[in-house]
């Protein structure tokens, strides 16, 4: 069983011992969670200590999520399902760089997945896991946040497009544009589902 880099770093800093590392690795396999989340669940490391440690060791800034405001377009770019699965939260975007709060900024696979999904380069920031999860619920549940609901005939995933079809006389060209928009949205959803499926069996 390969030891994660985080485990080696914590061992070297005497924040974890070999016995705890072995237990954490076994629990990680059983729980199907990431290594950092497993350590926190086992109470082997305090999350605030872990956050400060990663920030210092990796020279990555910590971010307080207490009073930040997140633009709706960022919440749309990173869907709630992925935020919950990866324990991440988009903070802001500047000149094509997405500043992303993460509890494990060394998880390169997550960073690369979000870069492929959004088209932005990711600048990781460190935040406690509990703070990220709390703020996912707060921001994605806000009136301006994207809705995460299963489509139904009465309340579909694309109500605006449905109203366009029902309320207007749509020419062939207009219908083609709407059809193209639906195709792009469905392609994005397919990519998200593929990412979720890929991560499902990992850590």
Q: What does DSSP assign to residue 169?
A: -
pLDDT grade for 67, boundaries at 50, 70 and 90:
confident
**Tokens standing for residue 127:** 């935040």
Query: pLDDT tens digit string along 89-146?
Result: 999 999 999 999 999 999 999 999 999 999 999 999 999 999 999 999 999 985 444 4
What are the residues whose beta carbons fall under 8 Å from the beta carbon of 60, sequence distance 6 or more? 54, 105, 124, 125, 126
Angstrom CA distances, 161 to 122, 151, 200, stand at: 32, 13, 32
Among 78-87, 89-98, 167-176, the least confident range: 167-176
Residues in the chain: 203
pLDDT category at 72 given cuts 50, 70, 90 is very high
What does the alpha-carbon distance between residue 129 and residue 104 come to, in Å, rounded to a whole number?
9
Q: Which of 136, 5, 169, 129 is nearest to 68 (CA)?
A: 136
pTM above 0.75, yes or no: no
Top-tier CATH class for 72-147? alpha beta
φ, ψ for residue 96, nearest 5 deg: 80, 10
* Domain locations in the chain as residue ranges: 5-45, 72-147, 149-203
């Amino acid at each position: 069983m390969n030891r994660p880099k985080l485990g080696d770093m914590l061992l070297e800093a005497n924040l974890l011992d070999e016995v705890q590392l072995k237990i954490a690795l076994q629990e990680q396999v059983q729980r199907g969670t990431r290594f950092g989340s497993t350590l926190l669940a086992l109470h082997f490391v305090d999350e605030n200590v872990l956050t400060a440690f990663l920030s210092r060791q990796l020279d990555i800034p910590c971010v307080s999520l207490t009073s930040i405001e997140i633009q709706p377009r960022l919440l749309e770019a990173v869907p709630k399902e992925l935020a919950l699965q990866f324990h991440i939260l988009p903070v802001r975007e500047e000149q094509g760089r997405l500043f992303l709060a993460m509890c494990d900024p060394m998880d390169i696979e997550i960073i690369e997945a979000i870069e492929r999904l959004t088209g932005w380069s990711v600048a990781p920031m460190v935040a406690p896991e509990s703070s990220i999860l709390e703020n996912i619920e707060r921001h994605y549940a806000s009136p301006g946040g994207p809705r995460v609901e299963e489509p139904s005939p009465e309340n579909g995933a694309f109500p605006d497009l449905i109203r366009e079809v029902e309320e207007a006389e749509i020419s062939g060209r207009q219908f083609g544009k709407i059809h193209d928009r639906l195709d792009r949205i469905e392609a994005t959803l397919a990519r998200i589902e593929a990412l979720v499926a890929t991560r499902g069996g990992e850590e």
